[in-house]
Amino acid sequence: MYIKKILKRLRNLLLASIMKNFYDGLLFSGGLDTSILAAFNKKAVALTVSLGKYSTDIYYANLLAKKLKLKYVHCRVDVDGALAAIPKVIKILKSFDPALPNDLAIYFGIKKAKQIGLTSIATGDASDELFGGYYFMQKIDDLNSYIAKIVKAMEFSSNKIAKFFGLKIVQPFADSAMIDFALKLPASLKIHKENGKIWGKWILRKAFEDILPKKIIWQSKRPIEYGSNMTHLRKIIEAKILDEEFKEKQLLYPVKFLNKEHLYYYEIYRKVVGDIPKSNTLYRCPGCGGGLKIGAFHCKVCGYVLNFL
């Protein structure tokens, strides 16, 4: 009975969030979060981005789009187009975070939404943060304390990209009532074992397993870059920089580069944004020396991850 009440409360909160925040477009990966949003608003145009013709997202998105009879748009991007967009995305975000392949998929989805005349776009942002969707969260002893910390500093690239294109961004999972609910929810209901396997976002899966296919509900978490196939760009970019050049520039620049790809993004950042902003706080990023907000869990400029575990 206790679980049933929680499941009902979760469904009602999400429905209320969707009802009060209209959206005519949806960044649709076919993953758990955006599939739930699609099921609640079947009139929204569902946009799926892939690098090349095929991706894992396309498989799941097609499956559900047919079942729900969604207005579905596949935004196919080629390698040249993706590489050409990198400076634009870096300029919008003012960042050379190595997570850029994720942001590229979001950029092309929102750009397509603008091109076809949509005015608002929904995303599944905040679901993983609130309900333990990331694999590393399964190793955290005090999960709820960690979630409470990151919630205070949550920022999503989709907000900046949507603003750039003049679209309204809608994030139903980030609604204040949803956040309050998630923070009070026991960690054991976020990460939980089902049929011998440990699942993140367990409570979210259980809450909507009667309205979505089992294949959608019980699919594994996949980052945007993998689902969209944008991760393929990483090897292409790495090949553009020779080992000797990388060693020289590691000494030349005041940044702790994770790899050649990180350097590649930084040199574009220098051209389209400029110098890294100097710190005007007591908190400086160990990776690039830029300023950090109190409570930040990673640097928004270089992507350096701070350890709060």
Give the CATH number for residue 195: 3.40.50.620
- pLDDT at 215 > cutoff 80: yes
How do 197-199 and 192-194 pair as beta strands?
antiparallel
DSSP per-residue letters across 124-189: -TTHHHHHT-SGGGGG-TTHHHHHHHHHHT---HHHHHHHHHT-EEE-GGGSHHHHHHHHHS-GGG
Which residues have a Cβ under 8 Å from the Cβ of 81 and sit 6 or more positions away? none
At 175-187, the pLDDT tens digits run 999 999 999 999 9
Q: Considering the entire predicted model, what is its pTM?
A: 0.95
Name which residue leads in pLDDT, 207 or 152: 207
Task: Tell me whether residue 290 is in a domain.
Answer: no
Round to whole Å and give the CA distance between 195 and 245.
50
Residue 176's alpha-carbon distances to 180, 188, 200, 264, in angstroms, are: 6, 22, 21, 38
Confidence of residue 1 (pLDDT cuts 50, 70, 90): low
Nearest to 122 by CA among 250, 23, 6: 23
Task: Tell me whether residue 64 is in a domain.
Answer: yes
Contact 217, 64 (CB under 8 A): no
- The whole-number average pLDDT for the span 151-176 is 95
- The whole-number average pLDDT for the span 78-87 is 98
Task: Tell me whether residue 247 is in a domain.
Answer: no
At position 192, the amino acid (one-letter code) is: H
Contact 150, 104 (CB under 8 A): no
Task: Tell me whether residue 284 is in a domain.
Answer: no
* Domain that includes residue 25, residue range: 2-232
Task: Please state, rounded to an integer, the average pLDDT across all residues of the chain.
Answer: 94
Instruction: Give the pLDDT confidence score for residue 282 in this predicted structure.
Output: 65
- The number of domains in the chain is 1
User: In the chain, what are the helix, strand and coil shares in percent, each to the nearest 5?
Assistant: 55, 10, 35
Residue 82's Cα: distance from chain center in Å? 18
- 89's enclosing H/E stretch is helix 79-93
Instruction: Give the pLDDT confidence score for residue 307 in this predicted structure.
Output: 67
Round to whole Å and give the CA distance between 73 and 107.
15
Task: Tell me whether residue 49 is in a domain.
Answer: yes
Instruction: Give the pLDDT confidence score for residue 46 in this predicted structure.
Output: 98
- The whole-number average pLDDT for the span 233-243 is 97
Task: Tell me whether residue 300 is in a domain.
Answer: no
Task: Tell me whether residue 278 is in a domain.
Answer: no
CA torsion through residues 65, 66, 70, 76, sign = positive
Task: Tell me whether residue 279 is in a domain.
Answer: no
